[in-house]
């Protein structure tokens, strides 16, 4: 099983990432901040679970290749690390427990509410990429197999209402701190993800 997805920083800076199954963190388990980097940042995303094998999938047929969706947190490391460029890539993106996934449900793409420490809230929506488009693009290069996960970033539904950080313009990227409690609810008020940072 592998995790493949995109991270948006600005309209001109888009990164694709690939994570192994050891990056998966589920069942509301806490995320323990590693000590190999100075900062860690989360990027909320919509996760599609692949239900059949495919390669070179056309976008119009892509919805047939996943059976459920969940909310995810793509966690990436930042800062200077004493390592080679290859090691930095692995440490930045693919380290253990760096992809938090909430409860899966039948294909659902509505807006979600992200809450940090029970007070600060962001309304999340898909704007720049759909799961279907991501599946079509990724399957040009990588064979998708049952159980794989595809992630596309959520963005702040009202990006001009409040500046999330000094450099993130499109998504809800946020630096992580010990003690943080991250929760995500769907439109019906049901909890879809919960993660404590330790």
Number of domains observed in the structure of the chain: 1
Q: Give the whole-angstrom CA distance, residue 44 versus residue 147.
A: 20
Domain span including residue 132: 2-196
Nearest alpha-carbon partner for 74 in 18, 126, 113:
18
Give the model confidence (pLDDT) of 108-132 as tens digits.
666 788 888 877 666 776 666 889 9
Give the predicted TM-score (pTM) of the model.
0.86
What confidence score (pLDDT) does residue 10 get? 59
**pLDDT > 70? residue 104:** yes
Place of tokens 């799961």: 131
Angle at the Cα of 76 from the Cα atoms of 75 and 77, rounded to 5 degrees:
130
| Rounded Cα gap, residues 24 and 97, in angstroms | 5
Query: Torsion angle, CA of 76/81/87/89, rounded to 10 degrees?
Result: 30
Tokens of 102: 């909430």
Runs of H (alpha helix) within 1-149 = 85-93, 131-138
Whether 52 shows a pLDDT value over 80: the answer reads yes
Closest CA to 112 of 31, 193, 197, 196: 193
Model confidence at 19, pLDDT cuts 50, 70, 90, reads very high
Residue 159 belongs to domain with CATH number = 3.90.850.10
- The residues facing 155 across adjacent strands are 125, 171
135-152 average pLDDT score:
95
């Amino acid at each position: 099983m592998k995790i493949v997805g995109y991270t948006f920083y600005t309209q001109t800076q888009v990164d694709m990432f690939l994570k192994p199954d050891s990056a998966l963190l589920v069942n509301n388990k806490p995320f323990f901040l590693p000590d190999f980097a100075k900062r860690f940042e989360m990027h909320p995303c919509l996760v599609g679970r692949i239900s059949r094998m495919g390669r070179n999938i056309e976008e119009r047929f892509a919805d047939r290749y996943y059976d459920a969706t969940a909310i995810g947190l793509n966690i990436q490391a930042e800062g200077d690390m004493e390592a080679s460029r290859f090691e930095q890539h692995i440490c930045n993106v693919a380290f253990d427990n760096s992809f938090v996934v909430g409860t899966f449900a039948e294909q659902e793409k509505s807006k979600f509410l992200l809450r940090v420490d029970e007070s600060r809230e962001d309304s999340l929506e898909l704007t720049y990429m759909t799961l279907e488009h991501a599946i079509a693009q990724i399957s040009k290069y990588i064979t998708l197999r049952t159980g794989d996960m595809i992630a596309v970033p959520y963005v702040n539904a009202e990006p001009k209402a409040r500046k999330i950080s000094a450099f993130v313009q499109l998504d809800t990227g946020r630096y992580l701190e010990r003690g943080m409690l991250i929760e995500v609810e769907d439109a019906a008020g049901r909890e879809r993800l919960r993660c404590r940072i330790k």
